Amino acid sequence: MDERELEEIRRRKMMELQKMREEEIQKEQMKQQIELQKKAILRQILEPEARERLARLKLAHPDIAEAVENQLIFLAQSGRIKNRISDDVLVAILRQIASRKREPRIIRK
């Protein structure tokens, strides 16, 4: 291999790395944009106390909070939520979700 071939290989590799980095940046920007849209919708449909409770839940149980957020956003976008959701209503929703969750049973023989 001569020096021109090596330089061409290096140049191609740098172009590939740069393209991969740009794609990662675009994906991250899309995630941030989606998160901002979710926050805006939740701000519209949740009262401040309910938003705070959901934020605390997200710290302790991110999977449950994400599911509740997605469900609330879906209901809001489909027009099924007419009034803002209070903290009491959110607590009731969370209780329903918690009651659906099955506890593992250990049977010893």
What is the per-residue burial (b if ≥16 Cβ within 10 Å, else e) of 80-97? ebeeebebeebeebbeee
Question: 102 pLDDT exceeds 70?
Answer: no
At residue 46, φ and ψ (nearest 5 deg) are -110, 140
pLDDT of residue 108: 85
Summarize the confidence of residues 82-96 as an average pLDDT. 92
Task: State yes or no: pLDDT of 90 exceeds 90.
Answer: yes
Asked if residue 35 has pLDDT above 80, the reply is yes
H-run or E-run covering 101: none
Question: How is the chain split into domains, by residue range?
Answer: 3-100
The candidate with the shortest Cα–Cα distance to 46, out of 88, 97, 98, is: 88
pLDDT band at 38 (very low <50, low <70, confident <90, very high): very high
- Rounded Cα distance between 78 and 71, Å, is 11
CATH of domain 3-100: 1.10.8.140
Please compute the mean of the pLDDT values over residues 76-99 and round it to a whole number. Answer: 90
Whether the CB-CB separation of 92 and 50 falls below 8 Å is answered with no
Q: Rounded CA gap, 38 and 32, in Å?
A: 10
Q: Which pLDDT belongs to residue 9?
A: 95
